[in-house]
Amino acid sequence: MVASRYTPAEEQKTIWVYLEQENGVLENVSLEILTKGRELADKMEWQLTGLLLGHDMGDISSSAFAYGADVIVFADHPLLENFTIEAYSDVIEKAILERKPSVFLLGATPNGRDLAGRLAVRFRTGLNADCTELRMEKKTGVLVCEVSGFGGGILALIEMPSHRPQMATVRPGVFEPKPRNHNLTGELVELNVNLNPDSIYTRVIERMVGEQVDLARVPVIVAGGRGIDGEFESLRKLAKLLGGAIGATRPPVDDGYIPREYQIGQTGVVCSPEVALCCGISGAFHFIVGIEKSKTVISINIDPDAPIFEFSDYCIVSDVNEMIPRLINALEDIQETTHEKVT
């Protein structure tokens, strides 16, 4: 049997979460995992630690504390300013081998996946990827992960009882981020970083952080069809409130209401969101092919015979122009109330 670099007997009763940041702001997925991590840590009565790497990040730790971290372990170094797999893996490897957490969670983002894949091998431990649910066994301290395979058709529960750290990458958009209190604070621990620039082989030639969402990976899609008559502005609003992106069927693209990059379907993007909200879409076959992998499909269409209803989990026979504004209002009201609660 392959053995991990440290054993369950040597572990510290801590759950570590890798925090991703951009320009001093924590990524949504990190907030989501902190929230879930907090829930697990509470159940186990363990400590939740956030791991943060970067350079000149400003006061970013306060939001991590607000979302439940007890401790932030951070590394601030010029060579960590841009993500490179070599620098980040080396710093994280050292930190984890020193402090031996039981559980190490990362977001299943491009960088998160790269790090997780490298580090799992480096630690000779297991890694559950793109998890949609996490649970800790109180007695044994074993992390049980739910993952899906075969295009979402099969669910598996997986654990690694004999290896540490218990690593998992978490699918963005599955867990809801819930701040506990904006006044919470915690312990800050700075890591001693010893990086040799020669060990960093990846040269970043150009980098552009943008607004463009990868429709194939976004957790919520609000798609508009012929029935919305080009009114994508409200859909954009709705998508933003739901933490997702907009998509479209062929007719509005043809009519010039929205660029072709947003077209979902056989000749467009095939996506697999948690939720697909189809507005004013009849459900032509080649569109269905683009969203059939969604976990939940909700459709709004005024025509009760629209084929889309056969492919939907929740069907609303109604005028989209009536439903969308109401939905937006309801969501905006909730947002205001949440802000009031916390401040």
Looking at residues 23 to 62 of the shown chain, list those that interact with other proteins (rule: CB under 8 A): none
Looking at the Cβ atoms of 41 and 168, the one nearer to other proteins is 168
Please give the C-alpha separations between residue 184 and each of 18, 28, 41, 63, 67, in angstroms, as whole numbers: 19, 19, 16, 9, 9
Looking at the Cβ atoms of 185 and 318, the one nearer to other proteins is 318
**Other Cβ atoms within 10 Å of 203 Cβ, number:** 6
User: Kind of pairing, strands 47-54 and 71-76?
Assistant: parallel
For residue 143, state whether it binds other proteins (rule: CB under 8 A). no
Among 303, 326, 332, 342, binds other proteins (CB under 8 A): 326
For residue 303, state whether it binds other proteins (rule: CB under 8 A). no
Q: Which stretch binds other proteins (CB under 8 A): 42-50, 94-102, 180-188, 312-320?
A: 312-320
**Shortest Cβ distance from residue 227 to other proteins (Å)?**
11
Nearest Cα residue to 11 out of 133, 109, 125, 119 = 125
Among 251, 258, 280, 291, binds other proteins (CB under 8 A): 251
For residue 270, state whether it binds other proteins (rule: CB under 8 A). yes
Among 151, 197, 339, 340, binds other proteins (CB under 8 A): 151
Taking a C-beta distance cutoff of 8 angstroms, is the pair 136, 183 a contact?
A: no
Looking at the Cβ atoms of 189 and 316, the one nearer to other proteins is 316
Q: Which stretch binds other proteins (CB under 8 A): 35-43, 60-68, 161-169, 187-195?
A: 161-169
CA distance 53 to 197: 16
Taking a C-beta distance cutoff of 8 angstroms, is the pair 276, 224 a contact?
A: no
User: Kind of pairing, strands 127-131 and 166-170?
Assistant: parallel
Q: Which residues pair with 189 in a beta bridge?
A: 73
CA distance 130 to 210: 23
Encoded tokens for 122: 């480096």
For residue 287, state whether it binds other proteins (rule: CB under 8 A). no
CA distance 291 to 237: 21
Q: Which residues pair with 131 in a beta bridge?
A: 170
Among 8, 133, 148, 231, binds other proteins (CB under 8 A): 148
Element (H, E) at 241: helix 232-242
Among 24, 43, 98, 155, binds other proteins (CB under 8 A): 155
Among 40, 189, 289, 302, binds other proteins (CB under 8 A): 289
Among 128, 234, 249, 301, binds other proteins (CB under 8 A): 128
| Residue list 206-225, contact with other proteins (CB under 8 A) | 206-214, 216
Among 5, 76, 111, 177, binds other proteins (CB under 8 A): 111
**Shortest Cβ distance from residue 118 to other proteins (Å)?**
5
Q: How many residues bind other proteins (CB under 8 A)?
A: 97
**Shortest Cβ distance from residue 321 to other proteins (Å)?**
11
User: Kind of pairing, strands 245-248 and 220-224?
Assistant: parallel
Taking a C-beta distance cutoff of 8 angstroms, is the pair 104, 131 a contact?
A: no
For residue 322, state whether it binds other proteins (rule: CB under 8 A). yes
Encoded tokens for 30: 């990190």
Q: Which stretch binds other proteins (CB under 8 A): 38-46, 49-57, 70-78, 196-204?
A: 196-204
